[in-house]
Structure 1
């Protein structure tokens, strides 16, 4: 038996294609069917790597009796939140407004017009912990629809009005150097001094905030900012949230001390953390940061790259229905793989105890201390990783998301430059070529593809913004002009199609010609990944320094307008404005622009290496032949008496060209 999901490109939807539930994908035909039958819509939103999504599917959606109730009384729609972030944003806002919290799986009941009148998250098959069973909930909604339909429709209309009110454009407020100083103070007050990071359990990697704090330290010398970066980065790198054998980070830690992860691995987390660790390594020379950055990059290349050269979305939290099965160890298992001596040594090093830190006496692996014998440590890690590869493995969601691939392209291009790893830049280039070939149709983007086949969902603002930023990073890493041309085309489309015409600096998450939903989402806040608007502001600022006079003023004005619109958010909730803060920090310096010119790459390399390692975060660095076609930053900047030269500009002021690495280092100090 299959339902209407069997033609989907989303692995999450395909997981439900053989459910006895008569699922529809999100489409106008499904809403029309609900209107024709005069029944409510049951909307279920989740994603492939979600543990509790799998639990609810197994308990309820695979159960024929539950499915019969759903089929008879509802039109049932299943949505992959990663494929349709616009739909997810609308109904997540409604769920949070109704319940005070949100999460996945998300379970919403809608009128045939799509207006939500009751929302929640996971519901168990049997009543427990004060929650009704899913079938009890279905019965209550059925009775309410039968007896109080007008009341439910009115409630749905009021929820939609509330959504519009909640997402009104923010009042404009200037973002100054004092604003950024105040943000650091607020972050310091919220910082967990003992364990690193912000808040308590569950604790999420604050990758974008770390990027801002690093940039702020570079500009101001703030010791508080740098302490937060280094202590949090070290705590995560040594914790169970980091895969001590294979590299890469899990989505979050269920405890406040980074010990036990929620085992799903997301592309966006690993891209953002790769970028943060690479920048920390570049600025400090930290061996730990360098190792973690390189291992995370290799994890992306080894395990998340698709056959087409792009990057898959995620790895599942579960293996064969159990969390952590692939990753956790007991002391006896270590001895079995390594022998008695190495097994005991590894248990002490990785914090594997008889009591365990996870479930049933098993432990996650942490790096409690630096190994006293590095060669032994490498041998042990290799043996354990090989043994782990023989265990059952979590499923991979291999759909390709434009937005998340844009983040990965940026991170790999910047890490490759910072760490001298050309293979990372090559991987970023391959992914970008695939996206421009398969995800772009002229100036428009699609959101996803799978096995090289584009999906039906239109690109949202984050897709345009993050891919544009990735192409700008590649332009700087390679000096190739076509990446800049691709980026400006995407930015021009974003400004034309996503900007609010009556509110300068405000951007919608969907295009002006996208599918009409009950509400047009516009969320400026950074969460686990940058908002579409903050990523756009970041790309606009970078492009304003790279794209030449034709675009510079318009891009800079649009960036500054967006920053003013986000000023209230930056002031009140800096933890959820990390990318905005990074943009504002870079804008304080112009951003710094470094043009390195010379007749060939070998001649330019000593100067380029200094620029890559010393330029502050958010700077624009480009190397090439003077007056290279398609590289406005190199225009009118000749060599000096035939020798390679570097031009450093900050704001609207340029220093005299320098010709030696020491002179360039001094100019960037």
Structure 2
């Protein structure tokens, strides 16, 4: 027996297609049935890699008695939050308002008009640890719907007021200036765990966006403590169990305070954000460990998360064979035997076992999560480079990764969600393109990164973007492209194309980004409100039009859009873009300073607005050695808010950055400018490096 979800393309929805629950996908049919039969909607929201979503399915949705109650009293609706972030955001706001917390699976009971009146997250099958059983909740909600409609109306009325407040016009909340950024730094630093990096306490989530902002401020101010926070945190994660020491890539988060035990799902977006932070750390410090971990992560993306078409898949599940983390953990004896069978000497086996903290007792339910057993400190260097003998250790660890990866290939793999999501692909494209710019551009060693970026860009351009209108679609799965894109999709893909333009100097990518930027303003900007909405003006009408500028695990659509507009304003000279970006930032100036960890990505855009972009124009033939040498020098240097464009003198006609720029003496020439003031043009990569280093420091200009 199957239900309606069998016809969906989402792997998460299809996972529930054989439940005895009469699931409906989100849509008119479910709400029409609810209205006709005067039954509440039972909305369940989750995603394919969500461990507790699987638990609740096994415990409740596969249980015939529970399903009977759901089918009799409610119209059950299942939503994949990754396909419909708008639905997820609206009802998560209600869940947090009613319960004080959120998470997935999210369980919300709605009136037939879609208004929430009861909400929660995971419910167990029996009363447990103060949580009511799911069946108890079903009975209570059904009884309230039958006999206490006035209480239901009071709840929905209060939530209507909450939604109305969020939709009001944005007004300035303070002055956006350097003091705003100083206060934001203090807000982030106040939560910093000096021993383990990241935010104090547990669980520990990767703070990639906020710490990328700290790196920007280090470059602007020279404050070494800001670099220490970013580098120490990245290093602690890279040496912990949250990082897959064998196969590369970061898991979702650590359940403890020491980055050891993760929730084992792997998300494309986490790895995009952390890879970009790793690129920036390498540019800033030349740290070999940051580069190695970033390259390993991107090789994992290329190996396990890239479709034949060039699109990037969404997630890997945490579970395999019914056990969380089984694919990734090792028994002490099994790991030793695997290395012995691969020809490792007894000494190398001992060294690797010690390096990864592998013991007979294990560190996770009797098994071992490999981690670098030497703790990270703020002034640390890569542990495999400590002493003279560590060259052999580094070699042994590299060989062990290959050997164990081959062994692991024979295990039952976690399920992979092969949805290709526009925004997630856009931010991963950006990370890959920036890595290709930074890591020895033009060399054979980095050619795979350039190829990976180009294949993904071509896929997005041909499959998810309408080149005539600039509209972006959200999802591609099994040859089907569906769901009109949200604000985050448009801005994320456009920023990915801009990164590809900076890598290739192919004007096509700039043209696509500009078209998407125009569509973003046309369909998501509200001039009266003075803000971006997360859904387009022609999108499906929901109980409210969502607008949330705060980051979640991914950058908010608002933060991506503001950054996009600032870059396009710089490139095109269109001050309409800047005016809108500044208006958004002014409305959020005080929250940015007070609640900085919730605005990591938008703080990066605020930094660009306050301190200004650094503009680099490379004039010449990109195929020549001189041009490539200048591009390589620029790629190796970390410069916050760097806007790069280049190509022959005849290209870029009409763009302000290109006006009057010529190749001096017929040689490729670099121009570094800021606040309409330029350094002397140069064809010397060493001089360019010094100019870029100086240009990145704080020197606010007129606004």
**If the length of structure 2 is used for normalisation, what is the TM-score?**
0.92
Tell me the SS of whatever aligns to 1:5.
Answer: helix
Deviation of 1:629 (Å): 4.8
- Counterpart mapping for 1:288-303 below 5 A: 288-303=289-304
Which of residues 344, 351, 354 in structure 1 aligns to 2:350? 344
Q: Which residue of 1 aligns with 2:85?
A: 85
Partner of 2:264: 263
Q: Write out per-residue CA displacement over residues 76-97 of structure 1, whole angstroms, 9 at most, x where no aligned residue.
A: 1000000000000011010001
- DSSP-derived class of the 2:552 partner: coil
Pairwise CA distance, 1:652: 2.0
C-alpha distance after superposition, 1:163-205 (max 9, x if no partner): 3325645542222112112222222221100000013111111
Q: Partner residue of 1:565?
A: 587
Partner of 1:655: 679
Structure 1 residue aligned with 2:509, among 468, 483, 496? Answer: 483
> Is 1:528 aligned with 2:529?
no
1: CA distance, partners of 2:195 / 2:164: 41
Larger deviation, residues 199-208 vs 394-403:
199-208
Asked if 2 retains the 8 angstrom alpha-carbon contact of 1:537 and 1:562, the reply is: yes
Question: What is the aligned-residue RMSD (CA, Å)?
Answer: 1.6
2:194 aligns with 193
Q: Is the 8 A contact 1:192 1:199 kept in 2?
A: yes
1:640 paired residue number: 664
SS at match of 1:202: coil
- Aligned to 2:650, the other structure's residue is in SS state coil
Indicate the residue corresponding to 2:464 in structure 1: 439
Q: 1:378 aligns with which of 366, 378, 398?
A: 398
Q: Is the 8 A contact 2:313 2:417 kept in 1?
A: yes
C-alpha contact (below 8 Å) 1:39/1:75 kept by paired residues = yes
Check whether the contact 1:265–1:314 (CA below 8 A) recurs between aligned residues.
yes
Equivalent position of 2:518 in the other structure: 492
Give per-residue Cα distances to partners, 1:552-574, cap 9 Å, x unaligned.
31222222222212212211111
| CA deviation after TM superposition for structure 1 residue 635, in Å | 4.4
Q: What's 1:286 paired with?
A: 287
| SS of equivalent to 1:447 | strand
Would you say the 8 A contact 1:447–1:459 is kept in 2?
yes
Shift of 1:423: 2.2
CA distance in structure 2 between the partners assigned to 1:278 and 1:630 by the alignment:
32
In 1, are the aligned partners of 2:280 and 2:638 still within 8 Å (CA)?
no
Asked whether the 8 Å contact 2:268–2:315 carries over to 1, the reply is yes
1:618 aligned to which of 624, 637, 641: 641
Question: What does residue 584 of structure 1 align with?
Answer: 606
State the match for 1:61 in structure 2.
61
Query: Counterparts of 1:434 and 1:259 in 2: how far apart (Å)?
Result: 36
- Answer whether contact 2:629 2:685 (CA < 8 A) is retained: yes
CA distance in 2, matches of 1:324, 1:12: 19
Comparing 18-27 and 149-158, the one that deviates more: 149-158
Asked if 1:396 is matched to 2:416, the reply is yes
The equivalent of 1:507 in structure 2 is: 532
Paired residue secondary structure (2:108): strand
Contact in 2 for aligned 1:279/1:617 (Cα 8 Å): no
Q: Secondary structure at the match of 1:127?
A: coil
Which range moved further: 84-93 or 435-444? 435-444
2:373 aligned partner = 368
Distance, in Å, in 2 between the alignment partners of 1:236 and 1:51 is 21
Structure 2 counterpart of 1:215: 216
Offset from partner CA, 1:34-79 (integer Å, 9 cap, x none): 0101111100000000000001111111112211111111101000
The CA deviation at 1:225 is: 0.7
* 1:184 to 2:206 alignment: no
Residue in 2 that maps onto 1:422: 447
What is the alpha-carbon distance in structure 1 between the residues aligned to residue 223 and residue 169 of structure 2?
33
Figure out how many residues of one structure are paired with residues of the other and give that number: 663
Per-residue deviation, 1:517: 0.4
Is 2:478 the counterpart of 1:448?
no
Contact 1:188 1:224 in 2 (8 A): no
The answer for the alignment partner of 1:133 in structure 2 is 133
Query: Which position in structure 1 is the counterpart of 2:621?
Result: 599
Aligned to 1:97: 97
- 8 Å Cα contact 2:338-2:407 kept in structure 1: yes
- Please tell me whether the aligned partners of residues 497 and 512 of structure 2 are also in contact (alpha carbons under 8 angstroms): yes
Structure 2 Cα separation of the partners of residues 435 and 145 of structure 1: 46
Instruction: Check 1:630–1:279 CA distance in 2 against 1; reply closer, same or farther (3 A cut).
Output: farther
Residue 623 of structure 1: how far off its partner (Å): 2.8
Work out whether residues 468 and 490 of structure 1, in 8 Å CA contact, stay in contact via their aligned partners in 2.
yes
Deviates further, 564-573 or 189-198: 564-573
Instruction: Tell whether the 8 Å contact from 1:498 to 1:512 is kept in structure 2 after alignment.
Output: yes
Task: Give the conservation status (yes or no) of the 8 Å contact 1:43–1:79.
Answer: yes
- SS of alignment partner, residue 248 of structure 2: coil
Provide the rounded CA distance (Å) in 1 between the counterparts of 2:610 and 2:142: 57
Name the residue aligned to 2:363. Answer: 357
CA distance in 2 between counterparts of 1:495 and 1:425 reads: 30
Structure 1 161/412 Cα, relative in aligned 2: closer, same or farther at 3 Å? same
Deviation, structure 1 residue 614:
2.5
Could you list the runs of 5+ residues in structure 2 that have no partner in the other structure? 341-345, 375-382, 385-389, 695-703
Shift of the alpha carbon at 1:503? 2.3
CA contact (8 A) 2:505 2:622 kept: no
Separation in 2 of the partners of 1:310 and 1:338?
35
- Work out the CA distance in 2 between the residues paired with 1:141 and 1:78: 18
Deviation at 1:342, TM superposition (A): 4.1
Which residue in 2 is equivalent to 1:335? 336
**Equivalent residue, structure 1, for 2:249:** 248
Partner of 1:609: 632
Tell me the distance in 2 between the aligned counterparts of 1:642 and 1:142: 79
Structure 2 equivalent of residue 18 of structure 1:
18
Tell me, in whole angstroms, the C-alpha distance in 2 between the residues paired with 1:112 and 1:402. 31
SS in 2 for 1:577: helix
- Indicate the larger mover: 368-377 or 348-357: 368-377
Post-superposition shift, 1:581? 1.3
Cα distance between partner residues in 1 of 2:567 and 2:370: 39
CA–CA distance in structure 2, aligned partners of residues 436 and 596 of structure 1: 25
**What displacement does 1:481 show?**
0.8
Moved more, 416-425 or 473-482: 416-425
Aligned twin of 1:29? 29
In structure 1, C-alpha distance between the alignment counterparts of 2:156 and 2:640, rounded to whole Å: 46
- Describe how 1:458-473 pairs up with structure 2 within 5 A: 458-473=484-499
